[in-house]
Amino acid sequence: MPLTDHIRSKLAQVPHKPGIYLHKDRFGTVIYVGKAKDLRRRVNQYFQSSRRMGWDLKFNALVEAIHDFDWHVVKSDAEAVLLEGKLIKEFHPRYNISFRDDKRFLLLKVNLNDPIPRFTLTRLRLDDGARYFGPFPGGGALRRTLNLVRPKFNLRGCRPLTPGEADYKHCLYGHLKVCTAPCIGNVTREQYLMQVNAACDFLAGQCEEMADDLEAAMKKAATAQDFERAAQFRDVLADLRDATKKTREFVRVPYTLPVSLNPEKDLVELGNLLGLPAPPARIEGFDISNISGTFAVASLVSFKNGRPDRANYRRFKMKTVTGQDDFACMAETIRRRYSRLLRESGEDESDAATRRAEKGKRGEGEKETATEAEITFSPFPPFSPAANSARQPCAPLPDLILIDGGKGQLNAACAELAKLGLEKIPVIGLAKEFEEIYRPGESEPLRPGLDHPAVKLLQRVRDESHRVANSYNAQLRLKKISESILDEFPGVGGARKQALLKKFGSVHRLRLATVEQIAEVPGFGGKAAAELKAFLEARSASHDADTNAS
């Protein structure tokens, strides 16, 4: 792409620091996320025409699509890797390949409420009272550091939740004196907890003494010309520093949804295009997300003065719809959203019914008993945002409702609004394939073109509602996969877990069962049942402690 004045001025502001950069197309959509140790040098490479001959077709297509870019500075290259992965999973850029799956960075976990705590690797952070370290951009460095920590603090490395004498007979950790063997009473639980807490402090960054020892050993080996051993110490020291380096947990992405350079102008253009009496200051967008009829959810995003108003975002899980029915899902979402707004404003559905009856008296020649599919709307009746805000001081009705979809979704939304007596609110549908704008009562959609400012504004609202709906759907799927605490109990595979849930129905009922009742489940004996019972009691005590603390 030609180097515009806007791009040239931004390139001059990029610092020589590590961080991530985000390339955007002309609609403001993120199309590529990258990381760099030197942001200015890396980003400049995209706009050097001398390098174009060496690029492949895909990279040339990316460069041609770049219309703008942003960047974010971090403290280190490790933080850049973590933030890059998080942003790719959130925005799903078209030209990224790595980090697009649902795999997460490794975490190190220890639960001090277990009978004999142990350090384990996990990729999912749960609210279970355990202590987590990470995430770690390098899994190999973490594993090698854990192998260094275990013998230093005499920690166990066996899998059983509550190891006993039978496990000790086959335990190399105990026989080699790597572990203090709390399973056979060599040390008390309190003494072993002191070892675990010391290891936690070490992993939290209090490892200067060991780092100094490793560095001294490395220099001594190098002086003695034992370079292979010196290299081993060097690699161990590097792994230790990588694993104990403090990195930020990017809980909230520091990148916001791109907005227009002039959102007020876009609102004016949108109002003129739709024939509204005034620019729509508040826009609410809706989208549906489901997978083959499961985890059906909806999103509501709110834009105020052309910018995202995240305080008024809402998410809905379908309650009355079964199967894959986007029209019914949209109807339920609209009904729940605006019924609640009417209740919060002090107006119930009987008031809405009265208002509809009065309207019927005024229009004596109009048909009063139309079905949902037969309800017709004038494109946009007079609607006063000022009066609307006065009537709804807590949660004002929108000046425009945007439905992601075509005529079917639009008709379903309009029918629900008519039942609530809110048919005067302007409603439109945006079909994704050709970005056509559908209006109630109009057979032909508007096609203003992809470069029209109003279309770009509607695309931002639609894309944001799509992102929120998909994120909620993915969150529910992940929760369903990992909701059972049985996943953390070693030795319980899919078949045994299904057998437990089939017999007891839920984890809550399983907690109330006795060891004898658990032992009756196929695949479980007395020892496994006792270990599972101890595991569930430990997790229950952890949950109660967290509840009391909060």
Q: Count Cα neighbours of 121 within 13 Å in the Cβ-side half-sphere.
A: 15
pLDDT in tens, 452-474: 889 889 988 998 998 899 888 87
Q: Token pair for residue 172?
A: 């190399």
Least confident of 5-19, 57-71, 501-515: 501-515
Which stretch, 27-41, 86-100, 158-172, 181-195, has highest mean pLDDT? 27-41
pTM to 2 decimal places: 0.46
Domain assignments of the chain as residue spans, ordered by start: 5-91, 107-244, 263-480, 484-549
Identify the band that residue 386 occupies on the pLDDT scale cut at 50, 70 and 90.
very low
Q: Is the pLDDT of residue 63 over 50?
A: yes
| Listed residue (303, 268, 152) closest to 214, CA to CA | 152
Handedness of CA 59, 62, 68, 70 (dihedral sign): negative
263-480 under CATH 3.40.50.300, yes or no: no
Residue-averaged pLDDT of the chain: 78
Residues in Cβ contact with 184 at an 8 Å cutoff, skipping those fewer than 6 apart: 164, 165, 168, 174
pLDDT in tens, 147-206: 878 877 888 878 777 787 777 777 877 777 778 888 888 888 888 888 888 888 877 776
Q: Token pair for residue 90?
A: 């959130």
Give the pLDDT score at 481. Answer: 52
Q: What is the CATH number of domain 5-91?
A: 3.40.1440.10
Of the chain, the percentage scoring pLDDT greater than 70 comes to 79
Q: Is the pLDDT of residue 303 over 90?
A: yes
Identify the band that residue 335 occupies on the pLDDT scale cut at 50, 70 and 90.
very high
| Listed residue (395, 414, 225, 269) closest to 334, CA to CA | 414
Handedness of CA 123, 128, 134, 135 (dihedral sign): positive
Can you name the residues that pair with 107 across neighbouring β-strands?
A: 122
**The CATH homologous superfamily of the domain defined by 484-549:** 5' to 3' exonuclease, C-terminal subdomain (1.10.150.20)
Least confident of 208-212, 277-281, 298-302, 388-392: 388-392
Average pLDDT on 518-533 reads 84
Give the pLDDT score at 370. Answer: 34
Give the pLDDT score at 170. Answer: 75
Strands (E), 61-177: 68-73, 106-110, 120-122, 131-136
Of the chain, the percentage scoring pLDDT greater than 90 comes to 20
Identify the band that residue 52 occupies on the pLDDT scale cut at 50, 70 and 90.
low
Helix or strand or coil: residue 23? Answer: strand
Inter-residue contact 481 to 473 (CB < 8 Å): no
CA 125/CA 131 separation, integer angstroms: 9
Which of residues 513 and 102 earns the better pLDDT score? Answer: 513
Give the pLDDT score at 371. Answer: 34
Q: Is the pLDDT of residue 542 over 70?
A: no
Name residue 248's amino acid: R
Average pLDDT on 260-283 reads 88
User: For residue 230, what is the enclosing H or E element?
Assistant: helix 227-244
Q: Token pair for residue 527?
A: 């020892």
Residues in Cβ contact with 103 at an 8 Å cutoff, skipping those fewer than 6 apart: 123
Give the pLDDT score at 480. Answer: 63
Give the pLDDT score at 456. Answer: 87
Identify the band that residue 384 occupies on the pLDDT scale cut at 50, 70 and 90.
very low
Alpha helices per DSSP H over 97-188:
139-153, 165-168, 172-175
